[in-house]
Structure 1
Amino acid sequence: MDRFAGCDLLLIEGYKWAPHPKLEVWDPGLGKSMLAPEERSIVALAADTPVTSVALPTFRRDDIAGIAAYICQYCQI
């Protein structure tokens, strides 16, 4: 894909069943199950309620600086 040549990082939304590393943004108020316990490609979780059912780095959904720092560390950039 030439249009992404030179990019250090590409963030995409969707493609939840593709094997690339993912950050799951979970809102229990939507009534959907969290994917992280079963989907191995999820490397971190963002949620506004405490989550103890997964052993992943977890952030509040509004912790933009924390999430950005984690992504940079994870991607070694």
Structure 2
Amino acid sequence: MRLYGVTGWKDAGKTGLMERLTAEITSRGFTVSTIKHAHHDFNVDQPGKDSYRHRAAGATEVLVSSADRWALMHELRGREELPLELLLSKLSPVDLVLIEGYKRDRHPKIEVWRSETNHALIAPGDPTVRAIASDISVPDLNVPRFHIDDTVAVADFIISELRL
């Protein structure tokens, strides 16, 4: 599986670009899976639902299945967060895994940067950032630069760089 990341600071537009890239790249016939890193507590089920009740009762894993989909939830219960490499091993094979977040991991990435966030660019100090997608012109950092809404150009770049 080939990996490509979408990284940047909070509220830069990473999720929107991930969504658009997933749609664009799958429309070209490639299979895509995604991994999203969350820096906060999150739930994929809701209080009162059976799966939530199973987890609350102490289950380490809860697998929910229907005719349309299945989902596996694993509670860490105080253990360390799994590294990206181990999480990737849990995915079924696809052409491309798009990874949102994980800015410190060593896979190639495109940085999403918006002027209004008032954060410094990550790219100057990180050789894994291969391009920048922004809402404004950014300084020349010897990496390709794209407008954040030019999904086709960003997808073309990722596909070319990974030789898909």
Q: TM-score, normalised by structure 1?
A: 0.92
1:2-55 Cα deviation digits (max 9, x unpaired): 5232x1110010000001100000012111110001111100100111112411
Displaced runs of 4 or more, over 2 A: none
Letter in 1 for 2:137: P
Q: How many Å separate the matches in 2 of 1:4 and 1:45? A: 29
1:71 maps to which residue? 158
Q: How many Å separate the matches in 2 of 1:3 and 1:22? A: 20
Q: TM-score, normalised by structure 2?
A: 0.45
Q: How many Å separate the matches in 1 of 2:105 and 2:123? A: 14
Deviates more, 1:30-39 or 1:44-53: 44-53
What is the root-mean-square deviation of aligned Cα atoms in Å?
Answer: 1.1
Amino-acid identity (%): 34
Letter in 2 for 1:30: T
2:97 maps to which residue? 10
Structure with the higher helix share, 1 or 2 = 2
> 5+ residue gaps in structure 2?
1-88
Q: How many Å separate the matches in 1 of 2:91 and 2:156? A: 26
> 5+ residue gaps in structure 1?
none
Question: Are 1:21 and 2:21 matched, yes or no?
Answer: no
Query: Which is bigger in relative contact order (C-alpha 8 A, separation at least 6)?
Result: 2
Max Rg structure: 2
Q: How many Å separate the matches in 2 of 1:30 and 1:3? A: 33
**Is contact 1:37-1:53 (8 Å) kept?**
no
Letter in 1 for 2:100: E
- 1:74 Cα shift? 0.4
Structure with the higher strand share, 1 or 2 = 2
1:44 maps to which residue? 131
Corresponding pairs, count: 76
